[in-house]
Amino acid sequence: MKKTPKKIGLAIIGAGRVGLIRAELAARHPEVGWIGIAEINPERGEIVREKCGGDFVTTDFRELLARPEVNAVAVCTDEHLHVDPVIMAAERKLPMLIEKPLATDLGESAQTLAAIEKHGVDAVIGYTQRFRRRWLVAKEKVRTGSLGEVTMVTSRAFMNRLVAIDNYKRSDNRAEVTPMVISGTHALDVVMWLMEAKKPVEVYARSVNKALGPTWQGVDGTGYTITFDDGAIYHGVISWALPEIWPGAVYSLEVGAVGTEGVLTIDDTHRDIVLATNLIQSEGYAPDKRRHVDFLTSYPVGDMALGELRGPMREETNSWLNRVSLGVPTQHATAAEGHNRLMLTKAIDLSARLKRPVSLPIAPGDEKIK
């Protein structure tokens, strides 16, 4: 029997970069019949409403979520502003797509997850890299046993400091802004997705703060080892303190997975397409006039081509709208997985601060141990 699609009345909370992308994509989805926008900057909210042909705009997310037309929600605010709109949407039992992380505070993340589970809401987290072909292929090879039993995974993520500085500028609590919580969580999610049947039991980590510390009181980078209950290990390194002229628009990532029967290596550094030009570059997360070389396709959301965004955020958004409208399964991270990733990043940061191993999982409050 053919299923009748559900018409979507979409609330978009937060009209920044990501909110605009989601809004424009939603406007073209055949089952989206109404779009409302909540944005604290009224001028920005009106700009996004015009670009997507939205039906309603407000500066108060509560007013938007109270609208009877709303039956799905995309939470696209800054990371530290997710909690209140997510809890209100959960109380209305609205399906949600929430930008990562679920929250920046572990206690608030647990509170938010509890509200989602209490009301039985289908809430997913925006780990966009799950929608890139290379990670889907890697997942399938691990899932179908091509490596045998996975015993060891490594990851290395390099980022220029423009992303870090932008996050420090926007945050009202810089202690919650670390490379692991904000950016390392992407590599962590990919690896944990590959190893999802395994239970992490301990983490040991170290951090450095030579470049960002003096000005921003921030962490340059972190190295960590996670041990699993079956003896498997995951070793990762992330630095978001590379010079502004580092040619990766955002992420340069390498992952290697070793199993009892095989090995899988993924080069996601984007050095296969390199642009060098005398002109100033305008693509990417935070364009900088000093950069004249770019690793193309290294902006995680995708790339503008022929006037449209192409890439994983388009795939992710359309997949979620199909999930809401048609009930089809997708590879989105669940809210529980989102909370788990935040817990792991907080445990990594805690181990680095204490300079000793930390048992997993940690509970809310544990991450504040001095």
Give pLDDT tens digits for 39-58.
999 999 999 999 999 999 99
Residues 75, 12: Cα–Cα separation, whole Å: 6
Residues 344, 362: Cα–Cα separation, whole Å: 8
Confidence of residue 283 (pLDDT cuts 50, 70, 90): low
Q: Say whether pTM exceeds 0.85.
A: yes
For residue 241, the model assigns a pLDDT of: 95
Confidence of residue 287 (pLDDT cuts 50, 70, 90): low
Token pair for 214: 């003096």
For residue 60, the model assigns a pLDDT of: 97
Asked if 95 contacts 72 with a C-beta cutoff of 8 angstroms, the reply is yes
Q: Given CA atoms 42, 46, 51, 55 in this order, what sign does their dihedral have?
A: positive
Q: What value does the mean pLDDT take over residues 59-76?
A: 98
Give me the chain's average pLDDT, please.
Answer: 93
Domains of the chain: 8-129+317-334 (3.40.50.720), 130-300+343-350 (3.30.360.10)
3-state secondary structure of 227: strand
Give pLDDT tens digits for 116-158.
999 999 999 999 999 999 999 999 999 999 999 999 999 999 9
Residue of 309 and 332 predicted with greater confidence: 332
Asked if 24 contacts 10 with a C-beta cutoff of 8 angstroms, the reply is no
1: pLDDT strictly greater than 50 = no
Task: Output 291-294 pairs: Cβ under 8 A, ≥24 positions apart.
Answer: 291/244, 291/245, 291/247, 293/245, 293/247, 294/247, 294/248, 294/249
Give pLDDT tens digits for 16-32.
999 999 999 999 999 99
Task: Give Cα 24 to chain centroid, integer Å.
Answer: 19
DSSP string for 321-366:
HHHHHH-----PEEHHHHHHHHHHHHHHHHHHHHTS-EESSPPTTG
